[in-house]
Amino acid sequence: MSAPLRLMAVHAHPDDESSKGAATMARYVAEGVEVLVITCTGGERGSILNPKMERPEILENIGEVRREEMAKAREILGVDQRFLGFVDSGLPEDENEPLPEGCFALQPLDVASRPLVAAIREFQPHVILTYDDNGGYPHPDHIMTNRVSVEAFEAAGDPDRYVGTGEPWQPLKLYYHMGFSKERFEALHAAMTERGMGSPYSDWIARWEDRPQKWEVTTRVPCADYFETRDRALMAHATQVDPDGFWFVCPLEIQQEIWPTEDYHLARSLVDTTLPEDDLFTGIHAGVSPACS
């Protein structure tokens, strides 16, 4: 029997795994792929974004509560998950406001990357998912997550780097999440409007910066059958997601019809592939053992 394919998704906070690529992960789990979510921080500085959960006892223990929410979400998705142990940097209201001392975003790159390199060498993923170089949006922890993911992807296969973190292992493909595209939200907006429904996206689209998207979508993974699983995982993060809020206004059946994929940019590949793709593992075969540099 050949060894299973393995996918690692690197995220900044608990709940990010459920809002970015969750249906993709659920689909691959159902197909027998081993999936590991890496959560860089504990979300300790996160706010309560669901007004129904605004209670002092929750805010006082937000780090513990978010770990409990993460446990529920990973069970729903069927993935394994581990925390790297760094402290949430928070999101400053003023870009000139200094970040808290010791937080994830202020760690030296080699310090922040070391436990991720160790996790890669232990889990041996063929594919890694992460954010683009702007973090998907410019949260300092999301930007740092991109930096450590790129660093670890390049370093994990080199026996001379990060000595003492396990036997070298070279992942084969690195992808950036591209789910929050203007094209997608325009399509959902048009579909809801045509059906005589109020769209939650009009103001957002109107405020979208008029500039070309930096990273093109290279890979669209069909996973509409797992959108319901994605939504249940997202709602498990009850402090962060209002079940009556923005995320769930567009009916599931419209999303499945109009945009049945989750989308990615292939940032790095060490295997031959043909673009566009519809599978993160295109060019990779089960049981493959990548050569290390």
| pLDDT tens per residue across span 259-284 | 999 999 999 999 999 999 999 999 99
pTM: 0.94
Alpha carbon separation from 68 to 42, 73, 112, 238 (Å, rounded): 11, 9, 24, 10
User: What CATH number is attached to the domain comprising 127?
Assistant: 3.40.50.10320
For 84, what's the count of Cα atoms within 13 Å in the CB-facing half-sphere?
32
16 labelled ligand-binding: yes
Proportion of the chain above pLDDT 70, given as a percent: 95
| pLDDT tens per residue across span 205-251 | 887 776 667 899 999 999 999 999 999 999 999 999 999 888 899 99
Task: Specify if 275 maps to a domain.
Answer: no
The first and second tokens of residue 15, run together, are 């709940």
- The pLDDT of residue 260 is 98
| pLDDT tens per residue across span 14-24 | 999 999 999 99
Task: Specify if 274 maps to a domain.
Answer: no
Number of domains within the chain: 1
Task: Specify if 98 maps to a domain.
Answer: yes
Write the DSSP symbol of residue 96: T
Task: Specify if 207 maps to a domain.
Answer: no
Task: Specify if 123 maps to a domain.
Answer: yes
How far, in Å, CA of 194 to CA of 185, rounded? 14
Asked if residues 34 and 7 have their Cβ atoms less than 8 Å apart, the reply is yes
Q: Residue ranges of the alpha helices (H) in the chain?
A: 16-19, 22-30, 56-60, 62-77, 109-123, 140-155, 182-194, 202-207, 227-236, 252-258
Structural domain range at position 246:
6-181+215-269
Proportion of the chain above pLDDT 90, given as a percent: 78
Task: Specify if 292 maps to a domain.
Answer: no
126 labelled ligand-binding: no
Task: Specify if 111 maps to a domain.
Answer: yes
189 labelled ligand-binding: no
Task: Specify if 50 maps to a domain.
Answer: yes
